A and B are shown apart, each in its own frame.
Chain A
Amino acid sequence: DAKTTQPTSMDCAEGRAANLPCNHSTISGNEYVYWYRQIHSQGPQYIIHGLKNNETNEMASLIITEDRKSSTLILPHATLRDTAVYYCIVREGYGQNFVFGPGTRLSVLP
């Protein structure tokens, strides 16, 4: 079973920051937090991942709480092309596959 809970859906105005929360209260010390997104009828696209420090790349920022029980994915300036289902996944180590929950359906509105 997926180890994360996310809101079913969210809306965001174009140009504004999209903040997508994820709860992973049972995360263990060696589990990473990954974020992927899936645009309609495409394969999942990697966004970012982290262990305990906040991370930033060209796509997004990942903020992980100090107790690691939750995290937030931030798309700083959402565009219409960011409309997708966003999956927060926790995974331990190298030998594990990804278990996808239902994700959050983000709709970026003009």
Chain B
Amino acid sequence: GAVVSQHPSWVICKSGTSVKIECRSLDFQATTMFWYRQFPKQSLMLMATSNEGSKATYEQGVEKDKFLINHASLTLSTLTVTSAHPEDSSFYICSARTLADSYNEQFFGPGTRLTVL
């Protein structure tokens, strides 16, 4: 089955630093990747949608200069949280979809837990 990985699985950083999270589709080519954020005891909230080779589309209220998304290849998307602050601490989840996906599924990664001190 389609597998999506994320790295790192968890990260702790100091306030003001930047953190990069990688999302990889391991056995398929992901034309579209999605980034979600989940705060404790809340549901997943879509942050942005990225298509390979083009700029990401951000949801309302998500700062594109703070959450930099790069989808440079069909198997890799990265999310960089710039100048992270404690309020950015959250569970970040990516998902991927392929043109070959005849069932319209999205395959989700295992998530990355970010803690900003």
Show the binding face of A for B, using Cβ within 8 Å: 32, 34, 36, 38, 41-46, 49, 87, 91, 93-94, 97-103
Cβ–Cβ < 8 Å partners of B63 in chain A = none
Residues on the B chain within 8 Å of A49, using CB:
103-105
Binding site for A on B (CB under 8 A): 4, 6, 34, 36, 42-46, 49, 91, 93, 95, 101, 103-111, 113
Contact A102 B105 (CB under 8 A): no
Shortest CB distance B23–A (Å): 10
Contact across chains for B105 and A43 when beta carbons are under 8 A apart = no
Closest to B108 in A: A43
Say what secondary structure dominates the interface of chain A.
loop
In angstroms, how far is the closest chain A Cβ from the Cβ of B102? Answer: 9
Residues in B neighbouring A46, C-beta threshold 8 A:
105-108
| Given A97-B46, A103-B43, residue A42 in contact with residue B103 (CB < 8 A) | no
4 nearest A-B pairs in the assembled complex, by CB-CB distance: A43-B108, A100-B44, A100-B43, A44-B108
Could you tell me if B104 and A32 are in contact, using CB atoms closer than 8 angstroms?
yes
